Structure formats: structure tokens, C-alpha cells
Chain A
């Protein structure tokens, strides 16, 4: 421990609660109806190319990318477009359009364009296929993957970090993927390394998943890129899976404030995304489903694979329903997940977990300046200052404390003895600053 700054210990150790880590991924029955929001990713919303009454098949493109930082959306069932509705986004809480498709239960796929020689595809073909498959970062941030694979020419990528940390409590979807689909993940990595032209990659896995580490190490050693890929054992500490903390832990360097990992020549990618890349390149299958963990106060916690747009209630019913006292449903993990307003909210590309629990928010007390938030902050910030300034409407001062550097991991609020919802204040502060920014 350094005398002045115990950086190593920044972060927290919430109880893991990985109760589903031994449960095999199960496929839930096809939904009767799917609701597919046009904005399931970061960037411009997709543009619908189907209208009410159209017949669609599984994997058929129903919306085009709305710009460079955007991806197409595919139908996840076969059936008929019944309506286009306005709904509240499960991620940003903004109102946006969504396409509702009534399933016919036949599960007819569109004709799959499966490349005969996936190994021989050119960089351009790969990028195009990744984009057309609608692939986004499946760790939760949903950043379009094809953008990450095309860094600006002045940014040379030399290292890829594969994020298998899964530092959020409860979630085990990436863990199960590494156990059950390790080969596909590595093949996906191979494609990525080819596209980015780099020959150094790390797979970061937390020490609480020894079986996943063992499995990935075995697969790497048997592959033909074994010399270039290193499986890195990381301490089980939250937020190890945040890309900036992960990068620092593995490579010992920091991303400049306001920058992206590509500024230091690194791309960080989630294991689920690699599986999606594999599916798109080797099998020609677009992104229509994902693995997610259903955990917390449900009768039978499970890891399941489900089509996007499935209402959460159908997935919960498949897991035996909720316990009677549950009144909170979170998409994502307990640390950064978003509480949903209704059990009928459809899952989207970024939904890596459905967590049910009982509301446990407590009354906010006075800040006693204990410094726990400062101690916990992985970005070395002083979160309590944001609360003080936001309470006084002094938004410009927030910048003096580098509010934009905050990743909203929630470590500060988790440890706060006065139960202050720090993340809430930080989000308010950031939104206010965004409003004031000259357009």
C-alpha cells in the first residue's frame, strides 16, 4: 500500500451472490409477442424499414442503422408487425419508438448468408458483416462494435482486452458463456485481432471464477494463437470490469481524462460480444438473442438465452415467478442496473440480467464527511463534493472535481454510511452540465 494513496484498494467488495454460476444456459420458449425499441444501443436510433401489417421472419432486418454510430435491428421472431408504439427506454428513460411483432410460433428464419470460408474473409467484409449483424457491446454499454473495430487512422490499436470480469454481483451470464462457449469466444477474438491488426490480447477474468479461467486457459493453449493471448487472473473486486479500471489493472496505464481506451492503443471487448461476432462471421446469424441471468427474488434463478424484445414477465414466469415480497425489477446488475417501471418491459441487446429484489432504499442522512466515497472511488474522485454542489445548484464547480471522469459505478453510494444516493446527484449534475454546454 502506498503511503499517500492506497490506489490498489480503491473499489469495493460487495457480496458476490453468484447463485446461478453452476446453472447451464437454458433456452426460454419463444415469446408470443416481441417489442423491439429502435434505440437499443448508444448512438443514433435505427430507422424502421417495416410498417404495420408486414410479415417478417427471424433475422430479417426491420430497421436500418441511423448513422455511423448506429446499428441495424433484426426481427427476433417470425410473424406480423402489429404496430409501432412509443415507449420509455429501459436504459435511458427517454421516450422512443418501438416495433411490436406478433409471433406466429413457426420461428421461420430468413435465408442465412453463411460464408463458405470464414477464415478467408477480408477486413472489409468482416466489418460489414459485423455491422449488418447489428452487433453492439454486450457488456451493457451497447456501443456499436463495428465502430470500435474501425479506429480513426491516427489511433493504432496494439492490444485487445477481453472483459470476462463480470464484477457485478448476481450476474453469471458471461461466466456461463466462457464455460459453455469458450471456443466461439476465442474464434471471435481471432477475428478481432485480424481486423485490428494486433497480436497481443488479454482475457481478464476475476478470481471468483476459477472454472472459467481454467477453461479459457485450456482453450487458448490448444488454439493457434496461444502465444498471443494471455488469460489474466484478476482480484474479485468491483468495478474491475469497468474498461478503464480493467485496462489499468492489466496494462498498468491510465486512459487520459475524457479519452477512450483507443487513445492508448487498446480496445476492450466483452466476451458476449465476441460470441456474437463469431455467430455473425462463421454462421451468418445476426444478433437476435443473448444470454442473461435471472436472479434475486425469483423462485428458480437461472441463466437463460432469450430473444430480444421478450417481455421480462415471460422470462420471470419461466423461472417460476417472483417471491411475494419482491417489488423491484432491475435490468443489469445491482450496482449499475436500471430499475424498471413495469414487469412487461421488453429485454434489449444490453440486458445482461434481470434481477428481482425487495426495495431497500433508506432515508438520506447528513454527510458526515467520513471519506468512504473518496476511498472507494475507482477514478480517484471526491464524490461527496458533487452532492454538496448539486444541492446548492453550483453546477460549474462540478468540473473542478472532474465530474465527467465519473463512471457512475456506484461504489461511493454503496459504502455511504449516510445512505446518500450519490449516483443520483452525479447524474443530475452531469445532465445539467450537458444542458448548459454550448450546442
Chain B
């Protein structure tokens, strides 16, 4: 038995390392899908069963478009789950009663133009779902501003027009703490997946716990919005972080691997910039909500950030200082420096002879 295996078996040769972490792209994508189910459940609960249809249509369109685009580009179609994530995210940033034809157009745009036209997974500059939303907003402005109030029953197709918390004409009857609670649970008008901060937070924590995303972008992004709103007179920081799509954007979209910087430092700049943009748009801009555009704008900066914010490599000596001993040693330095002459001369003698 042993002889047989030793003599006749052909060996496979490959470069090191010969072991691999169990993490792979597919698993990452499916964990994101799982985390996204929570805001979807929230959307269905608050806005009725029709929203589930929106999500399904969006996902199916995304997958189909990717399949067709790969065919056209003569590339192999791999079901890696990224199209599902894009489809889900796109649906979550749409108004609850959006007509299905608009969903199909938008989802197809996300994949065909924003993702595949740039070279497919890993090569897109902008977050596909957000770029798709921007496209629909620009093309069909009327559809994207018709919000409804949360419905009373899940199967209902009723729609009572209502404003979103950030929108003009929004008025809240109860106290501030009641408003916070409604915002936290999502019992307010808004996009399908953005209203319930709590559901998104749980999904986001799932991503953090599984190591899919790192804490930096969500924390810095939300933190910046909170701080700036607190600094600007007349703004309510808690309201600013709970209302609108900030949580959804911070946990699921700004953290998109492909379109955010790779280094820790770059991610800080990215998240901080996005936070500033959100406040600028919300407080001083003409639109009520700025999360989508803040992330898209920072996406455009990502290649620039990545080019200029590199981590300092091990043993790096800044070009000005040509020091041979750039870093401090733990303790002693002086006593060694005192007597190198003697020892080196003896070394030389012994080494050369």
C-alpha cells in the first residue's frame, strides 16, 4: 500500500501557502444576504407584502442581467452572490410603492452599467445599488419622492401619502422620545429598508461579528454625522443619525469592499468625508436626504485615497532623514556607543586573518 502510493502517485505542485482560510467571496456575499434579510423583514412589516415583491423582482432582474452581461462579454457567469446583494440593496433604497417596471429598469442599470460595464465584480467605481438609485431618482423624480406612511397590516396594499422624517412637511405629533422610538423601530415613512434603525443595527452587528465588515467605517461615519449635527445650532444629533438611510448606508453600503479604500487610514478619511457630506446636504442642500450621494461622492474619491494613503511599510525610513537607526531601542543605547572602536578592531583582526 505504502509502496504503491509512493511510486505511482502523481504529486500536485503549487505555490505556498498550502492552506487557506475558510473565508471566500461566496460566503462573504451570503452572510451579507443573511444580514440584509432583517431590514427586508422590517420593510415587509411596515410597508406590506408588496415590498417583498419589489425585493424579489430586483434580485431576479439583477441576476438575469449579470448572466446576460457575462454572455455578452464572453465571460463565465459565476453565481457568487454579489448580484443578489446588489439586488437586495437596490430594493431596500426604493420607496415602498415603486412600480415594478421602475425596479426592473433600475436593477438592470445597477448591474449592466454600473458594475459590468466597468469590468464586473471588483472593478466598479461606484456602489451599484446606490448608483442605480441615483439613476432612478434623476430619471423618475416623481416616483422617488412619493412616500407612504407605515401600513396597518402586512397584506394591505393601502397607501396613505406621507412625508419622511427628513422631508419637508413632516410633522410629528408626539414627544421627542416617542419620535426616537418610532425612528428606532422604523414606524415612520421612508424607503423600504431604511426606516428601522434597530433591524439594520442587528444586521450590521451580524456583519461585524462574522468579520465581514470592520467597525471603522460605520462608527466614523455615524459618529461624524452625530458630532456635526451636535455642533450646528438647531440640529438634533440623535434625530440625524436615526432618521433617513444613515444606518443602512453606514453598515451595508459605505462598507462595500470594492468601492471603499483598503487601508485603515483611507477608510477613516472616506467615512469622515461621507459624514460631512451627509450633514452638508441635509442641512444646507436642496435635498432632504444625502446618504446616497455622500457615499457615491466618496466612492469617486476612493481611487485617489488609495493611491495616496499607503500604510507605512515595516522598516520605512522617510527620505529626508537618512538615519541608519530610525527607531528607538527599548532601553540602552549609550553604553554600546561608547566602546565600538575597540571591539570592531578586534573583530576585523579575527575575521580577516
Q: Give bound CA distance, A337 to B14, whole Å.
A: 10
| CB <8 Å contact, A321 and B6 | yes
| CB <8 Å contact, A123 and B350 | yes
Q: Say if the beta carbon of B113 comes within 8 Å of chain A.
A: no
B285 contact set on A, CB distance < 8 A: none
Point out the residue from A12, A153, A382 that lies within 8 Å of B262, measured CB to CB. Answer: A382
Point out the residue from A127, A378, A413, A418 that lies within 8 Å of B350, measured CB to CB. Answer: A127
Measured as residues with beta carbon below 8 angstroms from the partner, the interface class of chain B is: 35 or more
Point out the residue from A327, A380, A423 that lies within 8 Å of B11, measured CB to CB. Answer: A327
* CB nearest neighbor in A for B15: A424
B268 contact set on A, CB distance < 8 A: 3-4
Point out the residue from B7, B14, B264 that lies within 8 Å of A5, measured CB to CB. Answer: B264
Question: Chain B interface secondary structure, helix, strand, loop or mixed?
Answer: loop
Q: Say if the beta carbon of B257 comes within 8 Å of chain A.
A: yes
Within 8 A of B (CB), among A392-429: 401-402, 405, 408, 410, 413-419, 421, 423-424, 427
Q: Per-residue CB proximity of A243-261 to B under 8 Å, as 1/0?
A: 0100010011111111100
Q: Give bound CA distance, A158 to B348, whole Å.
A: 16
A340 contact set on B, CB distance < 8 A: 11, 13
Q: Say if the beta carbon of A287 comes within 8 Å of chain B.
A: no
Q: What is the number of residues of chain A that contact chain B, defined by CB distance less than 8 Å?
A: 92
Interface stretch, picked from A19-27, A49-57, A111-119, A354-362, is A354-362
Point out the residue from B18, B262, B313 that lies within 8 Å of A380, measured CB to CB. Answer: B313
Rounded to whole Å, the gap between the CB of B102 and the closest CB of chain A is 29
Rounded to whole Å, the gap between the CB of A246 and the closest CB of chain B is 12
| CB <8 Å contact, A321 and B2 | yes
B347 contact set on A, CB distance < 8 A: 150-151, 153, 197
Within 8 A of A (CB), among B15-35: 15-21, 23-25, 27-28
| CB <8 Å contact, A254 and B17 | no
Q: Give bound CA distance, A254 to B351, whole Å.
A: 27
Interface stretch, picked from A94-102, A179-187, A208-216, A364-372, is A364-372
| CB <8 Å contact, A357 and B262 | no
Point out the residue from A359, A369, A417 that lies within 8 Å of B23, measured CB to CB. Answer: A417
Q: Say if the beta carbon of B74 comes within 8 Å of chain A.
A: no
Point out the residue from B10, B21, B122, B312 that lies within 8 Å of A327, measured CB to CB. Answer: B10
Rounded to whole Å, the gap between the CB of A403 and the closest CB of chain B is 10
| CB <8 Å contact, A248 and B5 | no
Q: Say if the beta carbon of A342 comes within 8 Å of chain B.
A: yes
Q: Say if the beta carbon of B174 comes within 8 Å of chain A.
A: no
Q: Say if the beta carbon of A339 comes within 8 Å of chain B.
A: yes
| CB <8 Å contact, B257 and A316 | no
| CB <8 Å contact, A417 and B343 | no
| CB <8 Å contact, B311 and A382 | yes
A-B pairs with beta carbons under 8 Å apart, 16 shown? A5-B311, A14-B21, A150-B351, A253-B328, A256-B326, A327-B9, A328-B18, A336-B16, A339-B18, A361-B12, A369-B258, A370-B28, A371-B261, A414-B19, A417-B21, A421-B14
Contacts A328-B13, A379-B313, A418-B122 known; list 19 others, CB within 8 Å.
A5-B312, A123-B350, A124-B350, A153-B348, A169-B19, A244-B314, A263-B324, A322-B2, A324-B5, A328-B11, A360-B19, A365-B78, A369-B262, A371-B261, A375-B264, A380-B313, A402-B316, A416-B21, A421-B14
- In the complex, the 3 A-B pairs of residues with the closest C-beta atoms, listed nearest first: A321-B2, A410-B17, A371-B262
